[in-house]
Structure 1
Amino acid sequence: MMDYSKFPNRQIACIDMMSFYASCMASLHSLDVRKVPIAIVGNLKQRGSVVLAASPPMKKRFKVKTGTRLYEIPHHPEIRLFEPRMAYFLEMSMSITRILHRYVPAEAIHVYSVDESFIDLTGTERLWGDPAQTVKKIQKEILDTLNLPSTAGVGPNMLMAKLALDLEAKKTGFAKWTFEDVPKKLWPVSPLREMWGIGGRTEKSLNDMGIFCVGDLANTDLSKLEMKFGVMGNQLYHHAWGIDLSELGAPMPEGQVSYGKSQILMRDYNTIAEVRAVLLEMCEDVAKRARDAGKAARTISLGIGYSKNALGGGFQRSRTITAATNETMKIYAVCKELLSENYDAQPVRQVSLSITKLEDEQSVQLSLFDKDNWRERAIGSVMDNIRNRFGSTAILRAISLTDAGTAIKRSELVGGHKG
C-alpha cells in the first residue's frame, strides 16, 4: 500500500455550478433550472443554430443537449428558449468568486473555469468549523443569493476534490473523499476515460497493456508505465493512488499545453475556398495568442466536421513540423495541406484548429536559408500590437471581408456569443 503520510493532506474543495448558463438564465427569469426545460441557443433567428447549454429537465425529458440544432427542438409549451448573454454570465461568475472571498483569501481561490473553482479551506476550521460543512454553507449562500444550484467535491488535493465532484457529487450534490476511499471509490472506475486526465488515446494505450480500470493502473509496475509513457506514466500511476502534488492555481496538466479555436459555422461551407477563408482567420487568432505568450508550436491539428446534410462525419488530422513556429502563414500552410489531403468535397459545418508541442519562442532558431523569416516576424509583431491596442478588427486580412469570413461578426460577441 502507498504511504500517504509522505504527501500533502489538505482540505481542497471543487465547486461546480449545475448547468451554469441555463441556471443563469433561469435566475434572470425567476425560473427553477431543476424543474423547467431550458435551452440556450446561439441565435434564435437561424434554424440551424445550435444549443449551447440545456437544463437537466431539457436533457432528460426532451433529449435536447449541447449541439442539438434549433429545428430539432420539439414544440412544447413548457420549453423556454434563450439566446446567450455572455456579459451577464461573466458577471454571475464574478459574483460567485466574491462569495468565495468571504470565506478564504484570494490566494486560496483558483477559478478553474467560468463555472468551476477550487478553494483551499485548510486552516479555516477555527473560523468556520468543519470544512465539509463550510462548503455546504457556501453552496447554500450561492443558491440563496444568486439562485444557482451547485455540486461540490472535497479531497486532500485538487485531483481528489475533482474526482469526488465528477464521480460522486454530480449525482448527490456533495461528496468528500479521503485517501482511505481510493481503493473503494476510485479503483473500480472504468472505462478509464472517466478518470480525470485520461483521454481516449491514452485509454486505448492502457487497454493494450491489459489495464482497464483505475485499480489495474494503480497495481501496474511503475517502471513499466514510465517506459511506455515517460513522465506521464509516473503521473498516471500516482493519480491512480489519488496523489497530486499540484499547487492551487496550477491544475493538471500544469501550464498551457496548447492553443486552439473551434467554430460551428452559421451555414454550410460548400467549397474548399470558403473553408480556407475561415481557416486563415482562425490561424491568425491562434498564432497571435501563441506570440503573445512567447510560445511556438511544432504540431498543428485540423478538425473538420461535415454538415448533417452530408450525413455528418469529418476528419481530425495532425502534422508535426521540423521547426516550431508561431507565424500565421506557416501554420496556415500546414492546415491547407491537411485540408487538401483529406477534404472530400462535403459541406462543412465545423472547423477546429489547435497547436501543440509548445516551445519558448526564444529557443526557436531562425533558418539562415529563409530570408523572409525576420520580415514575417516583424509584420506579425506590428499587426499584434495594433490589435492589442485598437481591437481585433483594427487590422484585417482581405479574406475577412468576403462572405466566408467570420472575424468581423465574431468580434461583436463576448465569449463567442452575444453579450
Structure 2
Amino acid sequence: MKTDEMTERIIACIDMRSFYASCAAIEAGLDPMEAYIAVVGNQERKGSVVLAASPRMKKEFGVRTGTRLFEIPGDPRILLLEPKMEFFLKVSMAITELLGKFVPTECIHVYSVDESFIDFTDVQKLWGEPDILITHIQDAIIRQFGLPSAVGVGPNMLLAKLALDLEAKKTGFAKWGYDDVPKKLWPVAPLSEMWGIGSKTEYNLNNMGIFSVGDLACADVSRLEAKFGIMGYQLFQHANGIDLSELGAPLVEGQVSYGKGQILYRDYVEVEDIMTIILEMCEAVAMRARQAGRAGRTIQLGVGYSKTAFGGGFSRSRSIDEATNETMRIYRVCKELFHEHYIGKPVRQISLSINNLEDESSMQLSLFEARKWENRKLGAAMDNIRNRYGYAAIYRAVSGTEAGTAIARTKLIGGHKK
C-alpha cells in the first residue's frame, strides 16, 4: 500500500502520567512529579503488590507496578497510600469532560482510565495547528487537576499510540508520521516492546527468525498468514505503521477476547483451593461472553508461581471442537490444562481467557447432551440475577469457602477499595 493511499488523519493519544500515583499525590497535597509515592492495595499483607508508583519512585528506587510491598525500601521519604478507585474514576471522568470543551465528544475515545484518543482532523478550522491545541489541553489539565500528561500524535490510532509509548512517555510529546516508521519503529526490539505484541506472539515470531519490528515489516506475508491467520497480515501492516481502523474500533480486530487476571491475596498451595479460584474466574469470563452473545473455541489458562518458590509458571491454551460460553465446559478445559502442567509450587497469580470468538448462535445443540439447553438457560438466569442484585446474590458453594475470593471482590472497584 502506497503512503498516499493510507489514512492521513490527526490522531492524538493522551496519557495521564503515573495516573493513580499522581491522583493520590494531588489528594495528599503533594507534587506528583516530586513525591515518593507507592499505591499499595493492602498494606497489612507484605506480599501485596504496588499498583502504581510516582515517577521519582520508579527512577530512584526502582519501585514500579508489580513490586511487592516487602521489596519497598524503608526510606522515610516514601509514602504508602491505599488506592481509592472511586476517586480515581471520578477524576478520569472529569478529565474526559474537560477534553469535551476543546473538541466534540464524538472525537474522543476513552481507551482506559488514564488514556484517551482524540481526533483533531476536523477541528483545525476552529483551533489552528493541533500541536498548539494539545499544549492548551495539557496546560488545562495541569491547571484544573495538577496532573502531568504525555501525548503521542500520528496519522492513525496505531502510530499515535506508538509515538506515546515509545517516545512521548519519556519526553512529554511526540509526533510521528509514516516517514518516521523506518527510523523510529523498525529498530524496536525485542518485539514485545511494540504495542500489540505479547510474549507468546514474540516467541512464535522469534522462531520464524523475526526479532525486530523491521524484520516483521519485511517478512513474507504469506508465511505470517500461514502461522497467525488474519492476525499475520495485521502484524505486517502494523509493523509498517498502517492502521485503517476508525476511532474507537479495536486496534487489532483479531485480538478480541474475554479474560480475567487475578493476583491472589496469599500463596495458594492446595490444589482444591486453586481450582476454586479457577472456577470463579471461569464463571466471570463465561458471564461476560454470554452477555455479549459470544462464544469461544480456544481457552487459555495462565498460572504464576509465588516468588517464595522462585517464580515461574505456565501459560497454555487448548482449542475445542465447538465454541462455548458455558462455565463448566470452560472449567473442564482449564482443569485439564492445570493438571497437565502444574508442578506443585505455591500459586500467586492466575489468568484465564477465551478467544477465537464467534456468535453464540453458532453453538450447536447436540442430541447426546440432553442438558445442554438447560445449562444455557440456567447460565442466563444466573447472569440476570447478578445483574439485578449483584454477584453475591447467587454464587457457587465453593465461593463461600475460605479459598474463594469472588464475594469479597464484589465490594471492590477494579479489584481495589472504593
Q: Structure 1 length as normaliser, TM-score?
A: 0.96
Q: Which residue number corresponds to residue 377 of structure 2?
A: 378
How far is 1:151 from its partner? 0.5
2:410 and 2:97 mapped to 1: Cα distance?
Answer: 29
Preserved contact between residue 230 and residue 254 of structure 2 (Cα < 8 Å): no
2:305 and 2:205 mapped to 1: Cα distance?
Answer: 31
1:284 and 1:264 mapped to 2: Cα distance?
Answer: 17
Q: 1:204 to 1:361 in 2, by over 3 A?
A: same
Cα RMSD (Å)? 1.6
- The 5-angstrom pairing of residues 127-142 of structure 1 reads 127-142=126-141
* 1:393 match: secondary structure: helix
The AA in structure 2 aligned to 1:270 is V
Q: Which residue number corresponds to residue 171 of structure 1?
A: 170
Which segments of 5 or more consecutive residues in structure 2 lack a partner in the other structure? none
1:379 and 1:224 mapped to 2: Cα distance?
Answer: 44
- The 5-angstrom pairing of residues 4-403 of structure 1 reads 4-254=3-253, 257-403=256-402
Q: 1:173 to 1:288 in 2, by over 3 A?
A: same
Preserved contact between residue 299 and residue 330 of structure 2 (Cα < 8 Å): yes
Preserved contact between residue 231 and residue 254 of structure 2 (Cα < 8 Å): no
Any idea what the Cα deviations from partners look like across 1:101-154, whole Å, max 9, x if unmatched? 011111111101110000000121121111011112111111111111111011
How far is 1:220 from its partner? 3.4
Q: 1:298 to 1:84 in 2, by over 3 A?
A: same
Any idea what the Cα deviations from partners look like across 1:247-266, whole Å, max 9, x if unmatched? 00003113871111111111
* Greater CA drift, 156-165 or 299-308: 299-308
> Percent identity, aligned pairs only?
64
* Greater CA drift, 235-244 or 296-305: 235-244
The AA in structure 1 aligned to 2:350 is V
1:278 and 1:376 mapped to 2: Cα distance?
Answer: 21
2:227 and 2:297 mapped to 1: Cα distance?
Answer: 22
Q: 1:345 to 1:157 in 2, by over 3 A?
A: same
* 1:251 match: secondary structure: coil
1:266 and 1:14 mapped to 2: Cα distance?
Answer: 34
Which segments of 5 or more consecutive residues in structure 1 lack a partner in the other structure? none
Q: Which residue number corresponds to residue 413 of structure 1?
A: 412
**Residue correspondences, number:** 418
The AA in structure 2 aligned to 1:70 is L
Any idea what the Cα deviations from partners look like across 1:369-409, whole Å, max 9, x if unmatched? 00110111111111111111111111111111111111111
How far is 1:70 from its partner? 1.4
How far is 1:221 from its partner? 4.2
How far is 1:36 from its partner? 1.2
2:203 and 2:286 mapped to 1: Cα distance?
Answer: 31
Q: 1:305 to 1:207 in 2, by over 3 A?
A: closer
* Greater CA drift, 111-120 or 138-147: 138-147
1:111 and 1:24 mapped to 2: Cα distance?
Answer: 18
How far is 1:201 from its partner? 3.0
* Greater CA drift, 225-234 or 127-136: 225-234
Q: 1:395 to 1:90 in 2, by over 3 A?
A: same
1:380 and 1:283 mapped to 2: Cα distance?
Answer: 12
* 1:61 match: secondary structure: helix
Any idea what the Cα deviations from partners look like across 1:3-58, whole Å, max 9, x if unmatched? 21112201100001101100110111121222111101011122221111111211
The AA in structure 2 aligned to 1:85 is K
1:296 and 1:262 mapped to 2: Cα distance?
Answer: 19
Q: 1:86 to 1:255 in 2, by over 3 A?
A: farther
The AA in structure 2 aligned to 1:67 is G
Preserved contact between residue 158 and residue 251 of structure 1 (Cα < 8 Å): no
* Greater CA drift, 77-86 or 54-63: 54-63
* 2:253 match: secondary structure: coil
